[in-house]
Chains A and B, each alone.
Chain A
């Protein structure tokens, strides 16, 4: 339960063109990529697009292994997707397990859909891999800021996001400590039926909640002591500005995406 197991596309600090790219452009591009992937209906093109992942990783100066780590928490879902297609598609039987029939068409479809899913995960993980959470929150604030006219709390939402991200590992570590302490006193978290197990978490959750509220209280005080008085009048260390380089990358990205989709339709 340590903070590290949360590594789903965790930020990897480096100096690369992708890190320098405006986070709003990154968000837009990866949204386009994910949409585009759903328009690709050709397995060969999909496999070809997969080769772009290591290329992107090397441009981003993120170790390829680190990128792949993002898929690990989702292996079960991937496997499940594959099995569903394998067994539930009509066609010529490959083999059978009891009443379940695996088909050749199912095998192809399974491979296709799980590859697509892997690519969606990998490509979108580049956002969080190359953008610090604060920058990401800034981007979201900036995208939502037109809504401020109708009193939508864009700044507050972005700040809440940043602070939540900041406290997740702290609270996880604390949960671990409390769990060990309770285990030391004979608590049992991993046996019994679901109801029993859920109940055994109450002595973990109550102290965790109390501590979280105390932390929130202290944090509010510390923020006030650091001059925080709402979003208006604040400046930013990294203020977002679209540069000609961002525009160039945007067009390059769109060009690659549309060529891949176009290719898949041509074939």
Chain B
């Protein structure tokens, strides 16, 4: 059970026959329960990858298999979104109803689930994101962070096995961002859902299982956070910035302070510095 990209690639066709290669042939496997982060500059193909993963886009070459089911098969038109949920960047443009619970119900309704089961799923999903008390409210009167949590609940109510999030925090203020991240880490603890998390905020992904770096449509590196985030030349090539703890450790090392250069979190830096004496 996993999402597999087998030599999958994708090109956008432009008028006048011009072709934009957004994803170059790639082979990749994502397991349930895993937290895979995707980073890369604007236009590096992250959103295209996200849409390939849940069948919104079909690969030009190669194939994408969701638990063994090819997204290209006509029968899987509903199967793909049911298995792989996709949360977009702008919460405003993915909500469909003027009442929170009606919106969360939209996905399960599309799947043809019986009303009593929809009720149960909506309640569960709202509880998971901590928005139960807002179920009768108009999303327009909530904060952007709360609206994004409603969007997440709308996907969770479809009970997918994988959750792809395309820069879900980039339009939120710091409070909303922390809110989404906390919801996410709780979700990881309580369920075995596989998460693909696209972002350009490096601090959000220091605890990922794997980080995937994209440059100009190519997956240029896959590895553990420590491996990726401390690789200076890779980070520079992908136009990514280094986190502040890493930066601090590096500067200290340069000044001759005996600290490791591979630190990525504040806690690690604090621990290392305290053990110096």
Contact = CB atoms under 8 A, between A and B. Distances in A.
Interface in A209-251: 215, 218-219, 221-229, 233-239
B253 interface: no
Interface residues of B, number: 42
B140 interface: yes
B77 interface: yes
A166 B95 contact: yes
A235 B158 contact: no
A225 B54 contact: yes
B112 A234 contact: yes
Given A218-B88, A227-B82, A227-B110, A235 B93 contact: no
A170 interface: yes
A131 B36 CA distance: 43
What secondary structure prevails in chain A residues at the interface with B? Answer: helix
- A-B complex: 8 closest residue pairs judged by Cβ atoms: A222-B94, A237-B105, A227-B110, A218-B93, A226-B107, A225-B86, A13-B136, A134-B102
Contact of A235 (B81, B92, B109): B109
B115 A235 contact: yes
A115 to B, nearest CB: 32
B11 interface: no
Contacts of B155: 226
B273 interface: no
Contacts, number: 103
A133 interface: yes
Contacts of A228: 106, 110
A253 interface: no
B63 interface: no
Interface in A199-213: none
Contacts of A42: none
B167 interface: no
A48 interface: no
Interface string A157-200: 00000110110011000000000000000000000000000000
Of residues A3, A11, A237, which shows the largest number of chain B Cβ atoms within 10 Å of its Cβ? Answer: A237
Q: Which of A222, A234, A236, A239 has the most CB of B within 10 A?
A: A222
A170 B94 CA distance: 12
